[in-house]
């Protein structure tokens, strides 16, 4: 204690050294604890991957007994948003709101997972409907489109338009995309559908057979319609047409017919398209939503507009545009130029991710397109809806 000042100065320096040492040790301890803490697990919990069944496909495309689910993982928040929107949309459809012309779930992308619901209404119903929708759709964003002037589609004079014949048909096998018809009507053949027992059918749109939406539908799926036992013709080229089969079942609500093949020609699980063409199976509802989320386009081959591509605009939709009946399980995609009269009965499809060079998976039928101003898409019954309601699959 003789030299007070010097001692204090030494003490100060020693204190500072110990202070720094303590800070360094504590910082090290903090980093160590941080490194040991389960931050990866906690962060991952908000961003968990969910496994979905995106399709049902056959391991051997020709053998319906080999149908298997196809799975993949998607971001959890995206999955919850889109399935939540499906639930809300189901409630909307069940509420049977008058003035509602159509609606569909619009999935978000992986980066912006919020899903929304597109709603099309008549002008006079808009204000009433919008209030009701706010109540019903509280949890989901929705986009309203007012549809004005929804006149019945004019009869287009189809006779002077060209038909897209398929080159080099592998007869007697007839793939989807081939022009077909009945009497004066032109349509497009789908790839073959399998029923529950694995039997194959020729398929096209039901509205070719003249049964309108107003027809009696008390016996859904029965063969009491106008077109029962009518023959389904396929147009091979300008000069020749062949009878492919006879109509066995009509499904006006899903807008397709099953025709039992004659002995002459065989329905084939293929599409007459450039690129991969063997149909291995079909997408599920969530599988189509996943395609929409990733902006993956669909393709189509039709008797009128040939080969076209387009993006998905809405999944699991309802359409009440034509007639007084609403159709469920409708896929909205493409544009008005994707589809025209005569393409009815064609399917939308895209390459199978497991065999993209050879196989395709089907999204659903193409039955109609918008003909009024303000909207621009093609729609049709999705394959999963045909499986759920009618028990058939691509």
Partner 1 sequence: MAGDDGAARGLVGFLAANRRRVLVDVLAIAVWVVLLLGVVTRLGWPRWVYYPLAFAGAVAYTFAVGSWRRPGEGE
Instruction: List residues binding partner 1 (CB under 8 A).
Output: 14-16, 18-19, 21-27, 29-31, 33-35, 37, 39, 42-43, 46
Token pair for residue 118?
């597109």
Complex with partner 1: residue 49 or 388, whichever CB lies closer: 49
- Report in angstroms how near the CB of residue 195 gets to partner 1 at its nearest: 50
- Report in angstroms how near the CB of residue 114 gets to partner 1 at its nearest: 15
**C-beta separation of 286 from 115 below 8 A:** no
CA-to-CA separations, 87 to 79, 137, 351, 387, in angstroms, rounded:
12, 10, 29, 20
- Report in angstroms how near the CB of residue 33 gets to partner 1 at its nearest: 5
Complex with partner 1: residue 37 or 156, whichever CB lies closer: 37
The whole-angstrom separation of Cα 296 and Cα 319 is 23
**C-beta separation of 281 from 70 below 8 A:** yes
Complex with partner 1: residue 39 or 128, whichever CB lies closer: 39
- Report in angstroms how near the CB of residue 51 gets to partner 1 at its nearest: 24
Complex with partner 1: residue 27 or 170, whichever CB lies closer: 27
**C-beta separation of 272 from 164 below 8 A:** no
- Report in angstroms how near the CB of residue 48 gets to partner 1 at its nearest: 13
In three-state secondary structure terms, 75 is strand
Token pair for residue 186?
């032109």
The whole-angstrom separation of Cα 270 and Cα 348 is 12
- Report in angstroms how near the CB of residue 133 gets to partner 1 at its nearest: 31
Complex with partner 1: residue 36 or 65, whichever CB lies closer: 36
Partner residues linked to 156 by β-bridges = none
Complex with partner 1: residue 26 or 71, whichever CB lies closer: 26
Q: Which residues contact 359 (CB under 8 A, 6 or more apart)?
A: 57, 61, 276, 278, 279, 280, 351, 352
Helices of type H across 160-281: none
């Amino acid at each position: 204690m003789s030299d007070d000042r010097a001692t204090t100065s030494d003490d100060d320096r020693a204190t500072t050294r110990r202070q720094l040492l303590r800070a360094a040790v504590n910082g090290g301890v903090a980093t160590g604890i941080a490194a040991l803490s389960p931050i990866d697990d906690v962060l991952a919990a908000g961003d968990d991957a969910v496994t979905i069944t995106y399709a049902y496909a056959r391991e051997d495309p020709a053998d319906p007994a080999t149908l298997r689910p196809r799975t993949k993982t998607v971001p959890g928040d995206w999955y919850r948003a889109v399935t939540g929107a499906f639930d809300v949309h189901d409630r909307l459809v069940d509420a049977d709101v008058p003035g509602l012309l159509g609606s569909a779930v619009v999935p978000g992308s992986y980066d912006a997972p919020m899903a929304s619901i597109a709603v099309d209404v008549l002008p006079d119903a808009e204000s009433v409907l919008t209030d009701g929708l706010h109540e019903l759709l509280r949890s989901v964003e929705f986009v309203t489109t007012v549809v004005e002037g929804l006149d019945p589609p004019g009869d287009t004079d189809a006779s002077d338009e060209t038909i897209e014949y398929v080159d080099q048909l592998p007869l007697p096998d007839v793939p989807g995309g081939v022009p077909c018809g009945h009497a004066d009507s032109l349509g497009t053949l789908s790839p073959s559908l399998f029923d529950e027992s694995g039997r194959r059918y020729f398929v096209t749109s039901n509205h070719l057979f003249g049964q309108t939406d107003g027809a009696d539908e008390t016996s859904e799926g029965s063969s009491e319609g106008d077109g029962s036992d009518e023959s389904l013709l396929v147009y091979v080229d300008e000069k020749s047409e062949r009878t492919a089969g006879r109509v066995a079942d009509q499904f006006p609500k899903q807008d397709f017919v099953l025709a039992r093949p004659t002995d002459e020609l065989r329905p084939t699980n293929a599409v007459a398209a450039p690129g991969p063409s063997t149909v291995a199976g079909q997408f599920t509802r969530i599988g189509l939503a996943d395609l929409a989320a990733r902006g993956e386009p669909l393709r189509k081959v039709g008797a009128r507009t040939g080969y076209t591509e387009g993006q998905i605009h809405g999944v699991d939709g309802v359409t009440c545009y034509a007639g007084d009946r609403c159709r469920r399980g409708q896929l909205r995609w493409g544009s008005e130029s994707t589809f025209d009269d005569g393409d009815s009965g064609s399917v939308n499809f895209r390459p199978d991710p497991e065999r993209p060079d050879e196989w395709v998976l089907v999204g659903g039928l193409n039955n109609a397109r918008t003909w009024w101003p303000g909207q621009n898409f093609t729609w049709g019954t999705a394959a999963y809806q045909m499986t759920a309601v009618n028990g058939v699959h691509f």
